[in-house]
Amino acid sequence: MSLEFITTMWAARLLVALNEALVYGQTNVSNRDYEGEAREAGKTVKIASIGDVLIGDFIKESDIGEPQALTDEDQTLLINQQKYFNFYVDSVDRAQQNVNVMDEAMRRSGWALREKAHTDIAGLIAADVSADNLIAKVVRPNNLACLIANKA
């Protein structure tokens, strides 16, 4: 009987996970202008705005009405959630790796935070959809339920 030494080779590159597209946190879907205003849960951000501007009918050679006095409005944004990730790469493991695990772990962690925000925003939107506007409930492969709104 002869003994054979079979080595295990490690690939020089990590397998990078494919992530689904996240829709709800995008610029034209969610307003993220106030993210940096308050960093602690329980804090509030007062967001000032003006009321709606009235639009009148224009009639040629006629006087237009008196100018509208603008009104102010505000909304309060309550910071009621905070998320984190926490991992480590052992220093011995890091020294012996031929790939950069930390970069990929940070990329995956950042994506997981965005996915959590995406799921939370989708839930808030779905909660405000009237039952009259629902066509169906669709279950996606990763078991996140999506509501399809009636466009009519």
Residue 104: pLDDT band (50, 70, 90) is confident
Say what the pLDDT of residue 152 is.
45
Number of residues in the chain: 152
Region for 9 from its dihedrals, namely left if φ exceeds 0, alpha if ψ lies in -120 to 50, beta otherwise: beta
Phi, psi at 77, each rounded to 5°: -100, 115
Confidence check: pLDDT of 75 > 70: yes
Domain locations in the chain? 44-51+69-149
Whether the pLDDT of residue 11 is over 80: the answer is no
Rounded to the nearest integer, the mean pLDDT of the chain is 78
At 71 the pLDDT is 92
Ranked by mean pLDDT, the top range of 46-50, 137-141, 146-150 is 46-50
| pLDDT tens digits along 20-44 | 777 887 777 787 787 776 666 667 8
Beta-carbon count within 10 A of 29 CB: 13
CB atoms within 10 A of CB 30: 15
- Average pLDDT over every residue of 108-122: 89
Whose tokens are 């009519």? That residue is: 152
Cβ atoms of 133 and 149 closer than 8 Å: yes
When pLDDT is averaged across residues 76-104 and rounded to a whole number, the result is 80
Mean pLDDT to the nearest integer, 119-146: 72
The predicted structure's pLDDT at residue 90:
81
pLDDT at residue 12 greater than cutoff 80: no
